[in-house]
Structure 1
């Protein structure tokens, strides 16, 4: 599997609302650096899985509208919008945020991520 497929597979598995689907995709030494509208966030593998579990409780479903994908060697850059449906109103779809991210792949797994988001 090439690096672009590895990253896109992460998003196709409904990454941030299905922790069971992403565990196998994450490198044991995963590091995520995220600058969000809420401030600076930093996750290792366990912390990202815990964060995903919290999102699963808040949203019934989510989807990603990926508009740009670029890759160079072991890195993939994406631009996308993340849509979610709240648990209390599953028919409603909201924009969670607009994202720009760069993923680094190591050993065929997601190793490092640098993410920025804006609501």
Structure 2
């Protein structure tokens, strides 16, 4: 599997709201460095899995629309918009945020993530 395909498979899955789907994608030493509109977060693998579990309680659907994807060696840059459907209103798709991410892949797993987001 190519690195780019790994990333695309990740975004096509329900990993953002389903821990069992996210877990196989993440390297055992996974780290997320996230600059959000609310500040900086640094999360390890377990903290990201915990976040996916929490998101799964609020959202019944998660969908990503990729605008750009570029690869260089073991890094992939992705610009995308993230849409969700809430438990309270499962028929309406809502824009959650816009993201720019640089992924580093190691051993065919997502190893590091450098992410910036802006709430819609």
Equivalence for 1:72: 72
Aligned positions of 1:1-119 closer than 5 A = 1-119=1-119
Taking the aligned partners of 1:39 and 1:92, their CA distance within structure 2 comes to: 28
TM-score, length basis structure 2: 0.96
Please list every run of 5 or more consecutive structure 2 residues that lacks an aligned counterpart in the other structure: none
3-state SS of paired residue (1:88): coil
Query: How well do the aligned residues superpose, as a CA RMSD in angstroms?
Result: 0.7
Taking the aligned partners of 1:19 and 1:37, their CA distance within structure 2 comes to: 25
Taking the aligned partners of 1:112 and 1:86, their CA distance within structure 2 comes to: 28
TM-score, length basis structure 1: 0.97
3-state SS of paired residue (1:21): helix
Please list every run of 5 or more consecutive structure 1 residues that lacks an aligned counterpart in the other structure: none
**How many angstroms does 1:12 deviate by?**
1.0
3-state SS of paired residue (1:100): strand
Taking the aligned partners of 1:24 and 1:93, their CA distance within structure 2 comes to: 27
**How many angstroms does 1:15 deviate by?**
2.1
